[in-house]
Structure 1
Amino acid sequence: MKALIWDGEKARVINTRPLPRLRDDYILVRTVAVAINPTDCKATSQGRAATNGILGCDFAGIVEEVGAKVTKPWKKGHRVFGFAHGANSNNSEDGAFAEFITAKRDLCMATPEKMAFEEAASVAASAFTCGQGLFEEMKLNTPDNPIGERQYILIYGGSSSAGSLATQYCKLAGYPVLTTCSPNNNELCRSRGAEAVFDYNDTNCAQKIREYAQGELFLVWDTIGSQQGIEICMESMSTKPGHKAYGTILLNRITRQDVDYSSSILMTCLGEAFDVLGKHFPAETEKLEFAKRQASLTERLLREGKLKPHPVRVGGRDFHGVLDEGLPAMLEGIVSGVKLVYRVADT
């Protein structure tokens, strides 16, 4: 089969990859579309995959075979989307950028009937990232248990894929959402539910956020993790007494001692041990159990039309397009307000 792999020195497309072994708690999926995430770019730029390991995380496709211990009622022919551990240094068979892949059983989700594969491929990694950061680590109320009071949250980086979904989850959970983006993405952020949008390049950005919230901003979730962003987040937050929390998807550090800090690592949601950049992450069953609940929530919200996928830009040339166009564009920072998606059979 065709796959995009890390050969030990560089990423390249091959046509001779054998089908992955089907583990008991996995399903075999024929991929139809895949999406690029920032973690995919970091994996290739840092060379942190097993030799001959499959790259990529986000996919949508069709179930081909079901493992013996899978508990969800998947059957051959079901349309699914989900997340795979791309560039896994511990298992070269994991990853989404291949014609056939294996994916964790209960973390796969049913693609809504009227949703295209290309849209579905853009959702899972960002959905699990949001669940970990907002609900597991920051302990915010979920859409199933909306907050009973008006409490602002700032989603820093609202036009990112994670930021776009986070805005929607938080609004559904009852939080008025403030967010930042470049002005050309203002309408996207508003369409996803942001109450107010601020230009992160405005030198008075933090002051404007603080004034809008009348000094009552106690919650921030940062999807970018830049030094500029951290400074804006810290300056935006309230200095009044009360619990203040800053969450992020990167291992940032903050200077304010009165703000609780939390971070999350996406790959831990699979509940399997792995190593990355010299650090070992043990298997954590509770992470997997939480991710199952997030998968069920996301699946339902999409089915009910309450959650919109991030806008997608569909590229050509299957995995060659991912390698030659998509990953370089992401690394150059020229992708904004969309998620890059590629059809697997598009040659």
Structure 2
Amino acid sequence: MSTTIPKTMKALKSFGPKDVRVVDDAPVPECPPGYMLVKVEAIALNPTDWKHADLLAQPGYHHTLGCDYAGVVLSLGPSITKSFNPGDRVSGYVHGSKHEDPSAGCFAQYAKVKADIQIHVPDHITFEEAATWPTGINTVGQGMYSPDGLELPWPDAPSKEATKVLIYGASTNTGVWAVQFAKLSGLYVIATCSERNFGAVRALGADEVFDYRDGVECGRRVREATGDGLGYAFDCVSEGDSMAICAAALTSKPNVARYGALLPVEFPRSDVKTSFTIGYTVIGEEFTFFGNKVPAKPEDFEFGKKWWALSEKLLAEGKIKGEPTIREGGLNGVVKGFEDMKAGRVSRQKLVYRIGDTS
């Protein structure tokens, strides 16, 4: 595949707090060792995207946003161990809005991506669906299966005991993936969501579903339904009442239960082992998060390579899948998507935009 790569491109840039604009003269990123350059076909939104733009962006920024994409390989840098070639259809996780690197994001016509944690997209799967994969799958891997998370049985070595796990926020995008992976892991899945999403969550494989809007009473009902035997909770919301509900749901037996969150939270029970992970550590590089330096974790990069290799296989076989909600406008439409997410108008939906629709 021979493609002329331009010097500049359209990109969605953050220029400071709540200052997000589409530009048409952003430099096309260089391709350093371990990276490859891709032509982006579709992107998908995550809460971390607008939170970086609103809460973490600093005056003087010119940072490309975006973590989730699908596209086509154009060129490869040195030091890549996974097999990729120009022309391959790919998807994967990107560290958008990285403080140290204004060109790191993927909400653009072209993006540089850490090659060994990207995956091939089969011809029968659209770019729009593939763009829904990266952040949710990466978060579930780290939060539910890594040594820093809940350390649950992997889908390729499922539990034979139907171990009970609570997926709090099962109708969120991360929750949708969590339920699917948990079922492949042979787990007995108890889920929370709003009643209007009960059917959809059961269709994913949840064994029992409870309405989180009942507050702590929801947790008490889960504990009763599980005979005070719930050992694991994965909190896909990590805000509001979610900690209290999970605390009430987990077994009352001390020093037995484990709780995993998406954010650093104060859990109301000291007798429960808690954990949280930051998705960006999968890149294996140092970065700044809320003003604090997070050191490189090579072990997370190695975990990511194994996790994404397994996920690539499961996705190709159709054992797990994403559901895109395609919106018009390309990069120009993303800011409206951010506003809808902030206002709570997005639940199970994964908002996806085609780069080619950018005016």
Shorter-chain TM-score range: over 0.9
Which amino acid in structure 2 is aligned with residue 105 of structure 1?
A
Match of 2:169 in 1: 157
Which amino acid in structure 2 is aligned with residue 336 of structure 1?
S
Identify which of 93, 100, 103 aligns with 2:113. 103
Partner Cα separation in structure 2 for residue 162 and residue 305 of structure 1: 18
Q: How many residues align?
A: 345
1:91 aligns with 2:104: no
Q: Is the 8 A contact 2:41 2:69 kept in 1?
A: yes
Partner Cα separation in structure 2 for residue 187 and residue 66 of structure 1: 44
Alpha-carbon deviations, 1:175-204, whole Å to 9, x = none? Answer: 110111111211221111110111110243
Match of 2:45 in 1: 36
Partner Cα separation in structure 1 for residue 75 and residue 256 of structure 2: 48
Secondary structure of residue in 2 paired with 1:93: coil
Q: Is the 8 A contact 2:167 2:192 kept in 1?
A: yes
Task: Tell me how far 1:328 sits from its aligned partner.
Answer: 0.6
For normalisation by structure 1, the TM-score amounts to 0.97
Task: Tell me how far 1:227 sits from its aligned partner.
Answer: 2.8
Q: Is the 8 A contact 1:56 1:95 kept in 2?
A: yes
Match of 1:233 in 2: 246
Which amino acid in structure 1 is aligned with residue 185 of structure 2?
A
Match of 1:45 in 2: 54
1:247 aligns with 2:263: no
Task: Tell me how far 1:47 sits from its aligned partner.
Answer: 3.7
Secondary structure of residue in 1 paired with 2:302: helix
Partner Cα separation in structure 2 for residue 114 and residue 157 of structure 1: 30
Superposition CA RMSD, Å: 1.2
Q: Is the 8 A contact 1:188 1:337 kept in 2?
A: no
Partner Cα separation in structure 2 for residue 19 and residue 279 of structure 1: 28
Which amino acid in structure 2 is aligned with residue 303 of structure 1?
A
Match of 2:124 in 1: 114
Which amino acid in structure 1 is aligned with residue 67 of structure 2?
C
Alpha-carbon deviations, 1:30-82, whole Å to 9, x = none? Answer: 00000000100111111436711100100000111111221212111110001
1:179 aligns with 2:191: yes
Percent identical: 37
Match of 1:327 in 2: 338
Identify which of 54, 69, 86 aligns with 1:59. 69
Partner Cα separation in structure 1 for residue 16 and residue 190 of structure 2: 43
For normalisation by structure 2, the TM-score amounts to 0.94
Which amino acid in structure 2 is aligned with residue 172 of structure 1?
L
Compare 4-13 and 271-280 and name the one that shifted more: 4-13
Partner Cα separation in structure 2 for residue 253 and residue 214 of structure 1: 26
1:268 aligns with 2:268: no
Partner Cα separation in structure 1 for residue 318 and residue 112 of structure 2: 28
Which amino acid in structure 1 is aligned with residue 68 of structure 2?
D
Match of 1:18 in 2: 27
Partner Cα separation in structure 1 for residue 76 and residue 297 of structure 2: 24
Q: Is the 8 A contact 2:36 2:114 kept in 1?
A: yes
Structure 1: any 5+ residue segments left out of the alignment? none
Identify which of 117, 138, 149 aligns with 2:150. 138
Match of 2:352 in 1: 341
Alpha-carbon deviations, 1:258-278, whole Å to 9, x = none? Answer: 110111001111100001211
1:295 aligns with 2:303: no
Identify which of 190, 208, 216 aligns with 1:196. 208
Alpha-carbon deviations, 1:294-337, whole Å to 9, x = none? Answer: 1101101011111121x2211111111002x1111111111011
Which amino acid in structure 2 is aligned with residue 185 of structure 1?
N
Partner Cα separation in structure 2 for residue 171 and residue 78 of structure 1: 30
Q: Is the 8 A contact 2:15 2:57 kept in 1?
A: no
Q: Is the 8 A contact 1:36 1:341 kept in 2?
A: yes
Identify which of 56, 62, 69 aligns with 2:79. 69
| Superposed structure 1 runs of 4+ greater than 4 Å apart | none
Which amino acid in structure 2 is aligned with residue 298 of structure 1?
S
Which amino acid in structure 2 is aligned with residue 26 of structure 1?
Y
Compare 142-151 and 97-106 and name the one that shifted more: 142-151
